[in-house]
C-alpha cells in the first residue's frame, strides 16, 4: 500500500506550488511588460536621437546654406567677383566669421581660383573639373560634397558650393567653402550619450562619412568603411525597410543594435541612429533577477506563513489523527483535552473523538465483564448499556450467544441426566444378568453332577439290570425328573436370552443418547468458537463432553458385541439342552422298553452309557460357556458402573453452568 503524505505536507506543497505559479506568472507578465517597455523605450530613444540628429545636421546645413547663399547674393549684387584683389581680401576676412570654416574660395570658368588663404593653385590644378564646381552648375541651390582630402591642407573636409551668376544669368564663377569634417564628428559626439546611443552618416553607397569611432571615418588616402561589404555588420534589413523604421542590425564591431535611419535634407545621405540591444537585454535580465528575488522572497514569506498556519490549524488535526491511531491500535485511554480547539471544525472533531473514545471504552469494559462471566459459567449476565448505531449489533450478538448457550447447556444438562439414568438402568440390568448367569451356572453344575451320578448309577447297575426292574423304573422316574429339570433349564435359558435382548435394546438407546450428546457437544463447540476468546472455556467443556460421549459410544459398542456373543452362546446352550431333553426322552422310552425286555436293556444300557458320556462332555462344555457368560456379565456390570460414573461426572460438570 502506498504511504499517504501528511496533510501539512500536502498543504505546504500546494500553497508553495500555487504561490510559485502565481508569482511566476506575475513575474513573466511583468518581465514581458517591462521587456516591451524597455524595447519601446529603446525605440523611442532611437527615434528621439534620430530626430535630434536630423535636426542638428539640418540646422548645421541650413546655417551653412544661409551663409553661402548670403555670400553669393552679396557677390552678385556688389559684383565683387570682377575685382579679384578686392574679392581676395573679403574672402580672407570671412574665415573669422565661421569657427568651423576651413576656407572660402571663388573659381571662375577660366580656371582661376581666389582663395581666402591666398593659396596659389599649381598650374595643373583645374577647379572647373572638381565635383563641387560641376555639381554647383547643375543644381538650383547649393551643393554639398562628400568628405575628401583638401588640396591645400591635406585634411578631410566637406565643401559647400553655389553658382554665381550675372544679371544675364550667366555663370561668372562658383563660390565654395570648405568645412572641416571634424565639425560633423563633433556634432555626432555631442548628441551621443553614455547609454551607447549614437548616430552616424552614410552616403548613398552605404559608406560611412561621419562616425563617433575615429577608426571608421574616411581616411586621408580616400578609403572608407562600407556597411554593406563589411563581414561583421548586417544592415540589410535596415536598408531594405522604409525610413524611420526601427529594426535590428549588427554594427561593424559585431554589436547588435536597434537601428533606424532618415534621409538628411538637401543631400542623399542617410543619418543612422543605433542603440545597443544589450542595454535593453540588461534591463530585462535585471528585471528577471528582481522577479526571481521577489519570487524567492515571496516563497520564503509564504513558507513561514504556511508553517505558522500548519502549527496553528493542522497540528491539532495531527493530534486528532494520532489519537485515532491509538484507538485503532486498541488504546482506548486517549486524552484529547490537550488538543487546541481553535476552530469550530476542530472543536467538533475533538468532541467526536472524545465521545467515540468514551463510548468504546465503556462498551469494551462491559463486554469484557460479560464475557468474563460467561467464562466462569454464569450466563445470566447481559449487556445493560445503551449501544448506539451499529454497536447495538454487538449487544444483540452477545444476548443471542448467551441465549444459544443457555439452550445448548440446558439440553446438554437434560441429556446428561438422561444418560445418568440410563447408565443406572444398564448397571441394574447388568447386575441382574450377572445374577441370572450365576444361577444358570449353579444349575448347570447341578445338572452336570446329576448327570454324572446317573451315568455312574447306570454303569454300576448294568450288570444288575436283569435283576433290578424296579431300579429301571426308578431310573425312568429319574429320567423324567431330569427331563423336568432340563425343561426348567430351557425355560431359564430362554429367560436369559430375552433379558439379554432387552439389554441390547437398552444399550441401543444408550448409543443413541451418546450420539445425541456428541452432536450437542459439537454444536456447543461451534457456538463457543463463534464467541471467540470468551468461549474458549466452554470449548474445553464441550470437548470433554464429546470425548465422554465418544468413550460411552465405544463402551456401548463393546457391550453390544459381548452380549451378541452371549446370545449366540445361549442359543447354543438351548440347542444342547434340547438335545439333552431328547436324550432323556430316549432314556425314558428305553427304560420303559427295558422293563419289557430285560435282556435288551443291557445292550441299550451300554448305548445309554455312551450317550451319557456324551451328555457329560456336552454338559462340561455348557458349564464352561455359562462360566464365560458369568464373567462377561461381571464385565458388563463394571462397564455399566463406569458409564454411570462418567454420566455423573458429566452431570456434575454441567451443574457448574448457571443459566437460570
Query: What tens digit of pLDDT does each residue of 359-372 get?
Result: 777 777 778 887 88
The Cα-based distances of 58 to 53, 63, 262 in angstroms read: 8, 8, 12
CA distance 518 to 547: 8
56 versus 156: the higher-pLDDT residue is 56
Q: 3-state DSSP call for residue 231?
A: coil
pLDDT band at 315 (very low <50, low <70, confident <90, very high): confident
Q: For the segment 11-57, what is each residue's pLDDT rounded down to a tens digit?
A: 767 777 777 788 888 878 887 888 888 888 888 988 988 898 889 88
Choose from 68-77, 469-478, 550-559 the range with maximum mean pLDDT.
Answer: 68-77
281 — pLDDT class (breaks 50, 70, 90): confident
Q: What are the φ and ψ backbone dihedral angles of 180, each rounded to 5 degrees?
A: -60, 140
Is residue 232 within 8 A of residue 250, CB to CB? The reply is yes
At 268, the pLDDT band (50, 70, 90 cuts) reads confident
Pick one of 3.30.450.20, 3.30.565.10, 3.40.50.300, 3.10.580.10 as the CATH number of 11-282. Answer: 3.30.450.20
What pLDDT does residue 552 have?
A: 78
- Give the pLDDT of residue 468: 63
CA gyration radius, the chain: 75
| Of the ranges 188-192, 314-318, 337-341, the best mean pLDDT one | 188-192
Find the mean pLDDT for residues 106-115.
91
pLDDT at 261: 92
**pLDDT at res. 377:** 74
205: pLDDT strictly greater than 80: yes
DSSP string, 322-348: HHHHHHHTT------TTS---SHHHHH
Report residue 153: phi and psi, to 5°: -105, -20
More confident residue, 593 or 117: 117
pLDDT tens digits along 415-434:
777 777 777 777 777 677 77
Answer yes or no: is pLDDT of 645 > 60. yes
- Is residue 456 very low, low, confident or very high in pLDDT (cuts 50, 70, 90)? confident
Model confidence band, residue 121 (pLDDT cutoffs 50, 70, 90)? confident
What local confidence, expressed as pLDDT, does residue 332 receive? 64
Mean pLDDT (whole number) for 179-183:
80
pLDDT for residue 313: 67
Would you place residue 176 in the very low, low, confident or very high pLDDT band (cuts 50, 70, 90)?
Answer: very high
If you average pLDDT over residues 204-220, what whole number do you get? Answer: 84
3-class DSSP state for residue 211? coil
Three-state secondary structure readout of 237-253: HHHHCCCCCCEEEECCC
Q: What pLDDT is stored for residue 259 in this prediction?
A: 93
> Rounded to a whole number, what is the distance in angstroms from the first to the last CA of the chain?
51
The residue-averaged pLDDT of 226-249 equals 87
Per-residue confidence band for 106, with pLDDT thresholds at 50, 70 and 90: very high
Query: How does strand 171-180 pair with strand 143-144?
Result: unpaired
The mean per-residue pLDDT over the stretch 168-179 comes to: 90
- The answer to whether residues 65 and 141 touch, using CB atoms and an 8 Å cutoff, is yes
- Residue 18: what pLDDT? 79
pLDDT at 134: 92
Residue 381 pLDDT more than 70? yes
Question: What pLDDT does 163 receive?
Answer: 93
How confident is the model over 644-660, as a mean pLDDT? 70
Q: Mind listing the pLDDT tens digit for each residue in 600-631? A: 666 676 677 677 777 777 777 777 777 777 67
Average pLDDT of 466-493?
A: 70
* Region 381-388 average pLDDT: 77
Average pLDDT over the chain, rounded to whole?
78
Residue 615 φ then ψ, to 5°: -60, -40
Q: Using CA of residue 598, residue 603, residue 605, residue 607, what is the dihedral sign? A: negative
Grid cell 431330569 in the structure block, residue: 482
For the chain, the structural domain boundaries read: 11-282, 330-376, 381-476+576-659
pTM of structure? 0.47
Give me the mean pLDDT over the 192-204 stretch: 84
Task: Supply the pLDDT for residue 463.
Answer: 62
Could you tell me which residues are beta bridge partners of residue 658? 378
Same CATH topology for 11-282 and 381-476+576-659: the answer is: no
pLDDT at residue 351 is higher than 70: yes
Distance of alpha carbon 340 from alpha carbon 150, whole angstroms: 96
Q: What local confidence, expressed as pLDDT, does residue 272 receive?
A: 92
Q: Which CATH architecture has domain 381-476+576-659?
A: Orthogonal Bundle (1.10)
Amino acid at each position: 500500500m502506498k504511504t499517504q503524505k501528511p496533510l501539512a505536507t500536502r498543504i505546504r506543497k500546494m500553497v508553495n506550488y500555487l504561490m510559485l505559479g502565481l508569482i511566476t506568472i506575475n513575474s513573466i507578465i511583468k518581465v514581458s511588460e517591462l521587456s516591451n517597455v524597455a524595447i519601446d523605450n529603446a525605440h523611442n530613444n532611437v527615434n528621439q536621437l534620430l530626430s535630434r540628429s536630423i535636426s542638428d545636421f539640418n540646422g548645421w546645413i541650413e546655417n551653412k546654406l544661409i551663409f553661402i547663399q548670403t555670400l553669393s547674393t552679396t557677390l552678385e549684387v556688389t559684383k565683387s567677383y570682377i575685382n579679384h584683389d578686392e574679392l581676395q581680401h573679403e574672402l580672407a576676412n570671412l574665415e573669422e566669421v565661421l569657427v568651423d570654416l576651413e576656407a572660402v574660395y571663388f573659381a571662375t570658368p577660366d580656371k582661376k581660383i581666389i582663395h581666402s588663404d591666398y593659396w596659389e593653385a599649381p598650374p595643373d590644378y583645374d577647379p572647373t573639373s572638381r565635383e563641387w564646381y560641376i555639381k554647383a552648375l547643375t543644381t538650383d541651390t547649393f551643393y554639398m560634397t562628400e568628405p575628401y582630402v583638401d588640396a591645400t591642407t591635406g585634411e578631410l573636409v566637406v565643401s559647400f558650393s553655389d553658382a554665381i551668376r550675372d544679371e544675364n544669368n550667366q555663370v561668372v564663377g562658383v563660390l565654395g567653402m570648405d568645412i572641416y569634417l571634424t565639425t560633423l564628428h563633433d556634432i555626432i559626439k555631442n548628441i551621443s550619450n553614455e547609454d551607447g546611443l549614437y548616430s552616424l552618416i552614410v552616403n548613398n553607397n552605404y559608406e560611412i562619412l561621419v562616425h563617433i569611432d575615429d577608426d571608421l571615418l574616411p581616411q586621408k588616402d580616400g578609403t572608407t568603411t562600407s556597411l554593406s561589404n563589411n563581414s561583421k555588420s548586417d544592415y540589410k534589413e535596415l536598408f531594405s525597410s522604409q525610413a524611420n523604421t526601427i529594426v535590428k542590425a549588427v554594427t561593424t564591431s559585431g554589436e547588435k543594435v536597434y537601428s533606424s535611419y532618415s534621409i538628411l535634407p538637401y543631400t542623399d545621405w542617410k543619418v543612422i541612429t543605433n542603440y545597443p540591444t544589450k542595454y535593453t537585454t540588461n534591463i530585462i535580465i535585471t528585471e528577471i533577477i528582481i522577479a526571481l528575488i521577489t519570487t524567492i522572497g515571496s516563497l520564503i514569506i509564504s513558507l513561514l506563513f504556511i508553517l505558522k498556519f500548519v502549527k496553528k490549524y493542522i497540528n491539532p488535526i495531527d493530534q486528532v489523527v494520532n489519537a485515532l491511531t491509538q484507538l485503532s491500535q486498541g488504546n482506548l485511554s486517549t486524552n484529547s483535552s490537550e488538543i487546541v480547539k481553535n476552530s469550530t471544525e476542530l472543536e467538533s472533531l475533538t468532541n467526536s473523538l472524545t465521545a467515540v473514545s468514551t463510548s468504546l471504552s465503556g462498551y469494551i469494559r462491559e463486554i469484557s465483564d460479560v464475557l468474563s462471566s460467561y467464562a466462569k459459567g454464569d450466563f445470566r449476565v447481559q449487556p445493560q448499556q445503551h449501544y448506539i448505531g451499529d454497536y447495538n449489533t454487538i449487544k444483540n450478538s452477545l444476548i443471542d450467544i448467551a441465549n444459544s448457550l443457555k439452550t445448548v447447556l440446558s439440553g446438554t444438562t437434560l441429556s446428561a441426566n438422561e444418560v445418568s439414568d440410563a447408565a443406572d438402568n444398564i448397571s441394574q440390568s447388568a447386575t441382574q444378568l450377572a445374577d441370572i448367569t450365576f444361577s444358570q451356572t449353579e444349575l448347570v453344575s447341578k445338572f452336570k453332577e446329576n448327570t454324572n451320578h446317573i451315568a455312574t448309577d447306570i454303569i454300576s447297575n448294568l450288570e444288575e439290570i436283569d435283576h433290578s426292574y424296579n431300579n429301571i423304573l426308578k431310573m425312568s422316574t429319574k429320567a423324567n425328573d431330569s427331563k423336568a429339570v432340563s425343561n426348567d433349564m430351557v425355560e431359564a435359558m430362554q429367560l436369559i436370552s430375552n433379558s439379554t435382548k432387552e439389554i441390547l435394546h437398552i444399550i441401543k438407546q444408550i448409543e443413541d443418547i451418546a450420539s445425541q450428546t456428541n452432536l450437542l457437544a459439537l454444536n456447543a463447540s461451534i457456538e463457543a468458537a463463534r464467541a471467540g476468546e470468551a468461549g474458549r472455556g466452554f470449548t474445553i467443556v464441550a470437548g470433554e463432553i464429546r470425548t465422554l460421549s465418544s468413550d460411552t459410544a465405544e463402551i456401548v459398542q463393546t457391550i453390544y458385541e459381548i452380549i451378541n456373543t452371549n446370545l449366540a452362546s445361549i442359543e447354543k446352550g438351548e440347542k444342547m439342552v434340547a438335545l439333552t431333553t431328547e436324550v432323556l426322552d430316549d432314556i425314558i422310552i428305553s427304560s420303559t422298553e427295558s422293563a419289557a425286555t430285560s435282556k435288551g436293556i443291557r445292550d441299550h444300557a451300554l448305548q445309554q452309557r455312551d450317550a451319557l458320556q456324551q451328555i457329560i462332555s456336552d454338559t462340561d462344555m455348557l458349564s464352561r460357556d455359562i462360566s464365560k457368560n458369568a464373567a462377561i456379565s461381571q464385565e458388563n456390570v463394571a462397564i455399566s458402573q463406569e458409564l454411570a460414573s462418567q454420566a455423573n461426572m458429566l452431570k456434575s460438570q454441567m451443574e457448574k453452568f448457571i443459566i437460570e
